[in-house]
């Protein structure tokens, strides 16, 4: 029994520590909380090497003159300036900043980020939005579904004529860019595409930090944005981005480029630089790039260039998380409520592991039955642990009990749990998705956002109660210290779950209820047999 309980306790503690770590120290203990975007709006590893000094081309950005040009599509509204096509706003049509009915739509370019010239070009280290004279005949444009539009900007800097062609798509969050350089004399030049973003969380949340990311041969994420103050340079990168759990702003060069990342004044700036561009006199050279500013939807990211779908990373159990998400979306297609879909998904997962759980409970029940014999052996041999262990092993053989048999099925389920945990934590479909929009018999909003915590902590408290019931149904622990720790576990878990997304709490709560039912059925079935035997 002690061995069994020790393993269970170790698993529970591991779960608790891992979840607590992600809550209190998400991704990295050096996370710098970016300024709240709503407040701003209301106010107006791989092949990499660190940069030794701040990159001057990234550090300079000033307020921009120019007239606004608005591109409206069914997915977003983008506002650019005539001074070189620099981005000022990128407002998503389908995503609100908060649940408030009067909340503005999510803007991926805050006022603070706009002052850093997102989508500005740097030519030979010169900020073209400031140093070049630009002309354009672009004007406000509205795109119908299925259509595209290209805005053209022309400028000149350092003897080089620049032609920017920005292509917007009505049905995609991508903006494609083609820059044509024409030099008056032969020279070698370099060109950098840039982007800038502040907080993408839509509000502070420990489990949803804004972070920087880049992709070379694998995904690298940087949550300690303070570490980017001095800048970071990445060779041969496929893309660089600022992201949260739900949104991403990415630079995607047409071919691997030198990526630069820097965090200054609460804004993360990105650049994708192409060096050694040979310009013959009068011969145009074209360089291409794409931007993606939008939600981290699996379907849209899968269609984006540069393997941007790699931004959806669910950790060690990625495949399991993908499977859970697919099933969750499949169920939602029938019930049209993600809360119900989570419950059904939990039931299906529980059903899939029902035989393993049943085996676990049976093993625990057998251990409960031989517990008096085990206690007698311990009392008999006292401090002679060798003799005591020998007799315990013989007891296990006699009653055909495996002390670890009750824990192995649980260990098999742990990868599924963490896969689902990551899937629910990073699924944009749960953001602002309601389960029960109003507290029953009141007009108070309740589980109106499955990605947010329960505002009245009702579900975490019920979840804690179910954990306590489960514990009371389990065989008592022989060791007094372990008994105290086990008694404290429901309290610890309840505390941790208070601020967890309600979608996760619902999953855990339903799973506990099903476990109680299963364990109760087993105990009820074994009771007559014991009575008959007696």
Residue 478: inside a domain: yes
- What's the rounded Cα separation, in Å, for the pair 282 and 186? 8
Residue 447 CA from chain centroid, whole number: 20
Tokens at residue 455, please? 């505002």
- What's the rounded Cα separation, in Å, for the pair 200 and 211? 9
Do 236 and 335 share a domain, yes or no?
Answer: no
Tell me what pLDDT residue 52 has: 43
Do 256 and 352 share a domain, yes or no?
Answer: no
Do 451 and 309 share a domain, yes or no?
Answer: no
Do 498 and 477 share a domain, yes or no?
Answer: yes
- Nearest CA to 289 out of 174, 138, 171 is that of 174
If you count them, how many residues does the chain have? 534
Q: Where are the beta strands (DSSP E) in 40-86?
A: 48-50, 68-72, 76-81
Average pLDDT of the chain to the nearest whole number: 83
Tokens at residue 34, please? 């970016």
Do 327 and 250 share a domain, yes or no?
Answer: no
Give yes or no for residue 240 having a pLDDT over 80.
Answer: yes
Of 63-72, 330-339, 370-379, give the range with the top mean pLDDT. Answer: 330-339
Residue 42: inside a domain: no
Tell me what pLDDT residue 197 has: 94
Residue ending a domain, among 313, 333, 367, is: 313
Residue 509: inside a domain: yes
Range of the domain at 506: 322-525
Do 193 and 288 share a domain, yes or no?
Answer: yes
CATH number at residue 120: 2.70.98.90
Do 251 and 128 share a domain, yes or no?
Answer: yes
Distances (CA, A) of 294 to 24, 75, 106, 282, 291: 27, 9, 10, 38, 10
- Nearest CA to 158 out of 277, 300, 269, 265 is that of 277
- Nearest CA to 473 out of 518, 506, 505 is that of 518
Do 379 and 445 share a domain, yes or no?
Answer: yes
Residue found by looking up tokens 């902590």 in the block: 457
Bridge partners (DSSP) of residue 149 are 168
- Banded pLDDT at 8 (limits 50, 70, 90): low
The 10 Å CB-count burial string (b at 16+, else e) for 261-284 is bbbbebbbbbbbbbeebebeeeee
Q: Are 122 and 142 in contact (CB under 8 A)?
A: no
Do 217 and 277 share a domain, yes or no?
Answer: yes
Q: Are 248 and 219 in contact (CB under 8 A)?
A: no
Do 336 and 411 share a domain, yes or no?
Answer: yes
Do 374 and 461 share a domain, yes or no?
Answer: yes
- What's the rounded Cα separation, in Å, for the pair 487 and 482? 8
Give yes or no for residue 1 having a pLDDT over 50.
Answer: no
- Banded pLDDT at 429 (limits 50, 70, 90): confident
The 10 Å CB-count burial string (b at 16+, else e) for 310-335 is ebbebeebeebbbebbebbeebbeee
- What's the rounded Cα separation, in Å, for the pair 300 and 297? 5
Q: What is the domain count for the chain?
A: 2
- Tens-digit pLDDT profile for residues 93-113: 999 988 887 889 999 999 899
- What's the rounded Cα separation, in Å, for the pair 246 and 39? 19
- Tens-digit pLDDT profile for residues 469-495: 887 777 665 566 666 777 778 888 888
Do 283 and 243 share a domain, yes or no?
Answer: yes
């Amino acid at each position: 029994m002690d061995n069994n309980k020790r393993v269970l306790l170790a698993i529970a503690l591991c779960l608790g520590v891992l979840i607590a770590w992600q809550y209190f120290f998400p991704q990295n203990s050096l996370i710098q909380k970016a300024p709240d975007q709503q407040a701003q709006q209301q106010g107006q590893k791989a092949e990499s090497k660190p940069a030794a000094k701040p990159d001057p081309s990234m550090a300079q950005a000033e307020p921009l003159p120019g007239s606004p040009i608005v591109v409206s599509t069914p997915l977003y509204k983008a506002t650019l300036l005539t001074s070189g096509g620099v981005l000022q706003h990128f407002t998503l049509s389908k995503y609100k900043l908060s649940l408030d009915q009067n909340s503005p739509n999510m803007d991926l370019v805050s006022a603070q980020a706009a002052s850093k010239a997102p989508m500005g070009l740097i030519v030979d280290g010169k900020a073209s939005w400031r140093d070049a004279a630009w002309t354009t005949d672009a004007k406000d444009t509205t795109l119908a579904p299925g259509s595209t539009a290209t805005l053209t900007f022309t400028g000149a800097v350092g003897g080089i004529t620049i032609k920017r062609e920005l292509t917007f798509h009505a049905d995609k969050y991508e903006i494609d860019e083609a820059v044509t350089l024409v030099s008056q004399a032969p020279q070698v030049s370099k060109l950098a595409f840039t982007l800038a973003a502040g907080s993408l969380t839509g509000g502070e949340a420990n489990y949803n930090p804004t972070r920087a990311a880049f992709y070379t041969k694998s995904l690298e994420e940087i949550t300690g944005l303070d570490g980017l103050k001095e800048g970071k340079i990445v060779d041969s990168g496929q893309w660089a981005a600022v992201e949260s759990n739900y949104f991403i702003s990415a630079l995607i060069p047409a071919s691997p480029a030198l990526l630069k990342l820097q965090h200054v004044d609460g804004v993360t700036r990105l650049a994708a630089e192409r060096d050694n561009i040979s310009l013959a006199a009068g011969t145009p050279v074209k360089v291409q790039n794409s931007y993606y500013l939008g939600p981290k939807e699996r379907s849209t990211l899968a269609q984006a260039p540069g393997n941007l779908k790699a931004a959806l990373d669910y950790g060690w159990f990625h495949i399991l998380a993908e499977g859970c998400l697919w099933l969750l979306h499949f169920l939602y297609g029938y019930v049209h409520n993600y809360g119900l879909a989570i419950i059904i998904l939990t039931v299906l997962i529980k059903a899939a592991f029902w035989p393993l759980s049943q085996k676990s409970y049976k093993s625990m029940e057998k251990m409960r039955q031989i517990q008096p014999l085990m206690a007698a052996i311990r009392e008999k041999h006292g401090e002679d642990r060798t003799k005591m262990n020998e007799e315990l092993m013989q007891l296990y053989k006699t009653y055909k009990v495996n002390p670890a048999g009750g824990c192995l099925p649980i260990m098999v389920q742990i990868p599924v749990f963490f896969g689902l945990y990551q899937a629910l934590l990073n699924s944009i479909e749960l953001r602002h998705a309601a389960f029960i929009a109003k507290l029953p018999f009141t007009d108070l909003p309740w589980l109106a956002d499955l990605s947010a915590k329960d505002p009245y902590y009702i579900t975490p408290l019920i979840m804690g109660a179910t954990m306590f019931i489960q514990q009371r149904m389990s065989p008592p622990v022989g060791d007094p210290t372990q008994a105290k720790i086990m008694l404290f576990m429901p309290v610890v878990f309840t505390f941790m779950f208070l601020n967890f997304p309600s979608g996760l709490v619902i999953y855990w709560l339903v799973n506990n209820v099903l476990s109680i039912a299963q364990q109760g059925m087993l105990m009820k079935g074994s009771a007559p047999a014991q009575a008959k035997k007696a």
